[in-house]
Amino acid sequence: MMTLLLFLLAFLLLTGGSELISRGTSSIARHMSISETMIGMTIIAFSTSAPEFLVNIFASINGHSDISFGNIIGSNIFNLFVITGIIGTFSQICLKRSIIFKLLPFSIVTTLIFWIIINDVAFFGSETNTLSQLDGGILVLGLFQFFIFFFIYQAAMSKIREGRSYEVRIPDLLTKPYIKKEPEAENSPGLIYSIPFSVFCFIIGLVLVIAGGYLVVREAVEVSMQFNTSLKLLSVCVISVLTSVPELIVSYISARRGQSDLAVANILGSNIFNIAFIMGLSALIRPLAFNTAFNTDILVLLIGTSALYLFCYGEKSVQHIEAVSLPAIYAAYFVFVIMRG
């Protein structure tokens, strides 16, 4: 019972900490007049991936490869099928061209490259399948750096096109920690915290996430031993779902505000960050042995991302029936994972 309570406490720390990190970093980004779509696909996406990041760091340090792979792959599948499906069920998903023709293809390519470099036996004739430190360097210094430069370029072009900046006054830190602007025609900046308060949120959130990440890995191993379940099953079915709660909350709130493009940008940006940076950094810390059973999960992720691209390619939107089908597909996948063990 104590192990389960600590396990749940860890996820509360991860969720609360990532929320504070998200609020602090996105507020600072708004001070810099970065567009909402850019904030969604980078700042908020990276912030909501903080639970996955800390869980993977501690898993890599302790040599738990199945937790590292299962957490990231499972989180990406949950983000794509469940969160996108929930968003499309309650609101119309209409995407900008930059998301359809740039972010979605980049997400597909990132997943495909990741799949190739971890299947060393099939593609490179090696004796074992390992995400090596060289592979980690390719992900972090190659794919992730390219994504960051792409973000900087898009942010700069967005500023040039808009030709405006936010008028921000610094409110009193104790009595008025934020201000709210009226929604504009295309952007709705929402809450803009003062710089000191934003930094304070980020620091506190980071401390909570670090504590939560450490507890998740430690207690996951205990739960696996006490209930005689594999770390692979636990990471895909439990850890990945709970570490995706921040993405679910942020994306749902964005969709309810009519910002479906921001919600999907957050999901896709988070998925790219999970693979390109978190998995890459995990491998740089310690080479990770790859369980080929995860190939099926990666295939599901590739098919799902490609299907979303096809849904949006023509009409630039996801129809209601298409959105409803996504959680149903995930439910079938979830049953398959449990039966696989």
State yes or no: pLDDT of 154 exceeds 70. Answer: no
The count of C-alpha atoms lying within 13 angstroms of the C-alpha of 330, restricted to the half-sphere facing its C-beta, is: 25
The answer to whether residue 78 scores a pLDDT higher than 50 is yes
Checking if the pLDDT of 180 tops 80, the result is no
Please give the tally of structural domains in the chain.
Answer: 1
Looking at per-residue pLDDT, the higher value among 210 and 118 belongs to 118
pLDDT at position 199 is 83
The segment with the largest mean pLDDT, out of 2-16, 47-61, 180-194, 326-340, is 326-340
- Domain residue limits at 90: 2-156+186-340
**Does 262 map to a domain?**
yes
**pLDDT above 90: percentage of residues in the chain:** 33
Mean pLDDT computed over every residue of the chain: 81
pTM for the structure as a whole:
0.82
Which CATH number characterizes residue 72's domain?
A: 1.20.1420.30
178 lies in a domain?
Answer: no
Where are the strands (E) in the chain, listed by range?
93-94, 130-131, 178-180, 191-193, 288-289, 317-318
Domain-embedded: residue 169: no
- Poorest-pLDDT segment among 186-195, 220-229, 331-340: 186-195
- In the predicted model, is pLDDT for residue 173 greater than 70? no
Is residue 170 in a domain? no
Q: Examine the pLDDT at 19 and tell me if it is beyond 80.
A: no
Pick 307 or 246 by higher pLDDT: 307
The answer to the question of residue 107 being in a domain is yes
Contact 205, 18 (CB under 8 A): yes
Task: Specify the pLDDT at position 158.
Answer: 59
Q: Phi/psi zone of residue 316: left (φ > 0), alpha (ψ -120 to 50 degrees), beta?
A: left
Cβ-contact 239, 216 below 8 angstroms? yes
Mean pLDDT of 252-257: 74
Q: Write out pLDDT tens, residues 127-150.
A: 999 999 999 999 999 999 888 887
pLDDT of res. 98: 67
Q: Does residue 165 lie in a domain region?
A: no
Asked if residue 59 belongs to a domain, the reply is: yes
Q: Which amino acid is at 219?
A: E
Residue 56: is its pLDDT beyond 70? yes
